[in-house]
Structure formats: structure tokens, C-alpha cells
Amino acid sequence: MAEPVSANVLRALSHPVRLALLVALERDELTAEALAERLGLTPHETATQLAVLRETGLVTDGHRPGRLRTTTHGWATIDAQLRHLGAAGTDPPD
């Protein structure tokens, strides 16, 4: 049986900037400053959105000091959330 849907994870995934951060971090460990530059964000906006991703466990410290990365657990959580939603029959009507 799939784990219950976490509203916090779904809320975290609902923001386009947070999704862009996750995709960027999936490819490489980056500093917050590098993320801001790569995505054209202000340092404040980057820090705010990263805080949400950290709280949900989707982003953690990287292997190198000062760098961030997505977590294997984070992607597994996302996958489980989506599978749970699909199994629950919550797909929008045609």
C-alpha cells in the first residue's frame, strides 16, 4: 500500500521555482549562489524556496561543503506521492 499523501510535499512541488531548483540540483550539486545565478533568481528568493524544499526533505547538504543536492529519499517520496494519487483515482475527469 502506498504511503499517505503529504500535503507539505505536494505544496512544495506546486511552485515552479521549487521545481526548477529540484531539476537543477538533480543534475549537479550546487551552491545557493550558483542556483540563483543559473535560474535568474535573487538570493532571497532562492533561500526562501530552498528552505521549503529542505523542510520537506527534498533537498539536503551536498557531499562538498556549501553545496546542495536532491535526496534519493526525496525523489522516492515524490514518486510515492504521485503513485498514491493515481491509485486513489484522483485523476481529473475527461
- Report the CATH number at residue 74: 1.10.10.10
Query: Which pLDDT belongs to residue 50?
Result: 94
Q: In whole angstroms, what is the distance from residue 21 CA to residue 85 CA?
A: 23
Whether 93 is in a domain gets the answer no
Residue 71 within a domain: yes
Q: Is residue 1 part of a domain?
A: no
Q: Provide the pLDDT for residue 2.
A: 46
Residues 6+ apart with CB under 8 A from 57: 71, 73, 74, 77
CB 28 within 8 Å of CB 70: no
Give pLDDT, residue 78: 73
In the chain, which stretches have pLDDT less than 70?
A: 1-5, 72-74, 88-94
User: Is the Cβ–Cβ distance between 4 and 40 less than 8 Å?
Assistant: no
